[in-house]
Amino acid sequence: MRIVFMGTPDFAVPCLARLIADGHEIAGVFTQPDKPKGRGYKLTPPPVKELALAHHLPVWQPEKLRDGAALEVLRGLAPQLIVVVAYGRILPKEILDLPEYGCVNVHGSLLPKYRGAAPIQWSVLNGDSVAGVTTMYMAEGLDTGDLILSREIPVGADETSGELFDRLAALGAEALSETVRLIAVGNAPRIPQDDAQASHAKMLTKEMAEIDWSKPAQEVHNLIRGMNPWPTAHTRLGSKMLKVHRSRIVEGSGEPGAVLDGKRLVVGCGEGAVELVEIQPEGSRRMPAADYLCGHPVEPGFKLGV
């Protein structure tokens, strides 16, 4: 099938790679413009662009989709299908209506749950035991189109958003491969979403990542793993910021924010306790908490977050 692919971050890369491996004709790739990164603010191409160029595919990086220029390019490419995976832009109706088989999207949740920008993170933040991906026909609303396929996997008790991202990206590629095959033979289902079951996964902010030790241990643990890799959960250790990359729930109880065991950096919560496993003190690298405690002992009773 002749396909135009639209995607930007790492999550979209396995999907494009799978379409190439399946032998589809990739007429072109649309992705976000290069952005400055690192200390030198060097312009860096998105991961999807890097893969596309490695396969000698033509790439477009329009700033806008609504000025008519992108539409003209797409008309020239004449795709039978447009595949969108974490592109980061809303497609106008004239683009949605262009391909013979429409536009399909791979979304990182079991729709209609977690429509929006951060579905994978919210599944971890909310402590879900199951997550998944959905392919759907795109409509003008935000992730409101008819469903095609859903695939689900269990979420590990200590799994981070980043780890779940990687697994769902691979699962999304499998679901997309089957979706395109079904569309090509005319057997793809169209299942209307139940809007009454819908929820929204809003974008994360750095402010949301501050640990509230008055919350139950499970919620604190979910915050820490849900905010990994970005924006990273944090608290105060004396006058300095302390980032927390990994934790686990342990037995114990005590005053919220108080260190209960200085040898393992166990901290009391509103209910129960968590052990901080991997941390990053302000101005330093990330490290196992045990390594930090070797040179910076923290006495039981010391309070974090104040």
Taking only the tens place, the pLDDT of each residue in 103-140 is: 999 999 999 999 999 999 999 999 999 999 999 999 99
State the pLDDT at residue 262.
84
Residue type, 26: I
Q: How far is Cα 135 from Cα 220, in angstroms, rounded to an integer?
A: 32
State the pLDDT at residue 264.
94
Q: How far is Cα 169 from Cα 165, in angstroms, rounded to an integer?
A: 6
pTM of the shown model:
0.94
Per the DSSP assignment, residues forming a β-bridge with 87 are none
* Domains, the chain: 2-201 (3.40.50.170), 206-295 (3.10.25.10)
Which strands make up the sheet holding 59-60, listed edge to edge? 59-60, 25-30, 2-7, 81-85, 103-107, 130-137, 147-154
- CB contact at 8 A, 137 and 179: no
Q: How far is Cα 25 from Cα 184, in angstroms, rounded to an integer?
A: 13
Q: How far is Cα 138 from Cα 104, in angstroms, rounded to an integer?
A: 5
Q: How far is Cα 39 from Cα 37, in angstroms, rounded to an integer?
A: 7
- Output the tens digit of pLDDT for each of the chain's 306 residues: 999 999 999 999 999 999 999 999 999 999 999 999 877 788 999 999 999 999 999 999 999 999 999 999 999 999 999 999 999 999 999 999 999 999 999 999 999 999 999 999 999 999 999 999 999 999 998 999 999 999 999 999 999 999 999 999 999 999 999 999 999 999 999 999 999 999 999 999 999 999 999 999 999 999 999 999 999 999 999 999 999 999 999 999 999 999 999 899 999 999 999 999 999 999 999 999 999 999 999 999 999 999
